[in-house]
Amino acid sequence: MTEAQATPQPVTAWLPAVAAAWIIPGAGHFLLRRPGRGVLVFVSVTTMFLIGLMMRGPMFQPQGGDLLTMLIYYGGFASHIASGALYFITVALGYNQPDVAGHVYDYGSKFLVGAGLLNVLAMVDVHEIATGKKS
Amino acid sequence: MPRMALSHMETAFLFALFTSVVLGITTKRTDAERLRYGVQCFAYFILALFGIGWLMYFGHG
Q: What is the pLDDT of residue A33?
A: 94
Query: Residue A46 pLDDT more than 70?
Result: yes
Whole-number Å distance between alpha carbons of A9 and A4: 8
Q: What is the pLDDT of residue A42?
A: 97
Query: Residue B4 pLDDT more than 90?
Result: no
Task: Show residues of chain A in contact with B42, CB under 8 Å.
Answer: none
Mean residue pLDDT across chain A? 91
**Measured between CB atoms, does A120 come within 8 Å of chain B?**
no
Whole-number Å distance between alpha carbons of B13 and A62: 30
Per DSSP (E only), the strands in chain A are none
Whole-number Å distance between alpha carbons of A106 and A124: 27
Global pTM reads 0.90
Query: Residue A52 pLDDT more than 90?
Result: yes
CA-nearest residue to A119 within chain B is: B22
Q: What was the ipTM of the complex prediction?
A: 0.89
pLDDT band at A3 (very low <50, low <70, confident <90, very high): very low
Whole-number Å distance between alpha carbons of A89 and A86: 5
pLDDT band at A6 (very low <50, low <70, confident <90, very high): low
Residue A9 C-alpha, separation from nearest chain B C-alpha, in angstroms: 20
Query: Residue A5 pLDDT more than 60?
Result: no
Each residue's pLDDT tens digit, A79-100:
999 999 999 999 999 998 887 8
DSSP state of A108: H
Interchain contact, A54 vs B3, CB within 8 Å: yes
Inter-residue contact B20 to B41 (CB < 8 Å): yes
**Measured between CB atoms, does B8 come within 8 Å of chain A?**
yes
What's the sign of the alpha-carbon dihedral A39, A45, A51, A56? negative
Residue A31 C-alpha, separation from nearest chain B C-alpha, in angstroms: 16
Task: Show residues of chain B in contact with A57, CB under 8 Å.
Answer: none
Please compute the mean of the pLDDT values over residues A121-133 and round it to a whole number: 94
pLDDT band at B60 (very low <50, low <70, confident <90, very high): confident
- CB contacts under 8 A, A 31-90 vs B, are 37, 40-41, 44-45, 47-48, 51, 53-56
Interchain contact, B15 vs A110, CB within 8 Å: yes
Query: Residue A30 pLDDT more than 50?
Result: yes
Interchain contact, A45 vs B22, CB within 8 Å: yes
Inter-residue contact A132 to A2 (CB < 8 Å): yes
Helices (H), chain B: 8-27, 31-59
Q: What is the pLDDT of residue A2?
A: 52
